[in-house]
Amino acid sequence: MISKLSEIIVFLGLTLASIALWFNADGLPTSKRYAQVDSDLWPKIVFGALAICCAIQMIKAVSKALKAQAETEAAGAGKAQGYYLRLGLISALVLGYFFALNQIGFLFATVIFLWAAAWVLPYRNLLAKLLFAPLFTVMLALFFSYALSLPLPRGEGIFYDLSQALF
């Protein structure tokens, strides 16, 4: 029940934050030339869609929590074996990924993170575990670098040189 409650609180917070940021977009600089399609349009679209999606997810989480509570009261069930251990490991991986991005760069940090996460999660397909991380990382790198022309963290030292050579 605690995990369901935390999920509801997170979605509630995200919904409220999205609504607040939608209203804060009015403070962005305006242009007389583009009166209706100005610098606040894109943030308002993103935060409006995010607020709607988070509100829907929150409603789903509330209904799941109520249904799960009714089922556990009837059956007395618990979490799957190793749930909290996997949750802790994935949380540590996310923190490690955050700090590794600037040190070893996007490509290496993402591949390592996805491989490690694949082994923590209870998924049995070995081929998918091995191939998903590099393929997904290459697709993301191509999308951000070439389609969006956004720079990705390249790391420091030898990792910078390797990232330069790769893209």
Establish if 140 belongs to a structural domain: yes
- 32 class by beta-carbon count within 10 Å (0-12 exposed, 13-18 middle, 19+ buried): exposed
Structure tokens that stand for 137 in this block: 């990382």
Q: Which two tokens stand for residue 129?
A: 């575990």
Q: How many residues in total does the chain contain?
A: 167
* Residue 118, domain extent: 83-166
In 3D, which of 118, 126, 12 has the Cα closest to residue 59?
12
Task: With 0.85 as the threshold, say if the pTM is over it.
Answer: no
pLDDT higher at 77 or 162: 162
Do both 55 and 104 map to the same domain?
A: no
User: Is 58 part of a structural domain of the chain?
Assistant: yes
The dihedrals phi and psi of 75, each to the nearest 5 degrees, come to -110, -25
How does pLDDT run across 48-90, given as a tens digit for each residue? 898 899 899 889 888 888 887 777 666 545 556 677 788 788 8
**What percent of the chain clears pLDDT 90, i.e. is strictly above it?**
2
Query: How many domains does the chain divide into?
Result: 2
CA distances for 118 relative to 83, 88, 101, angstroms: 15, 14, 19
- Is the domain of 60 the same as that of 91? no
pLDDT digits (tens, 9 = 90+) for 115-137: 888 888 777 788 888 888 888 88
pLDDT, one tens digit per residue, over 14-47 is: 889 889 888 887 777 776 666 666 667 778 888 8
- The pLDDT of residue 141 is 79
What is the DSSP-derived secondary structure letter of residue 155? -
107 plus 160 within the same structural domain: yes
Domain end call among 42, 67, 92: 67
The reply to whether 61 and 37 lie within a common domain is yes
Q: Taking each helix axis from N to C terminus, what angle separates 41-75 and 2-24, rounded to the nearest 10 degrees?
A: 170
Q: How far apart are CA 162 and CA 156, in angstroms?
A: 10
Residue 75 lies in a domain: no
Sign of CA dihedral 27, 33, 35, 39: negative
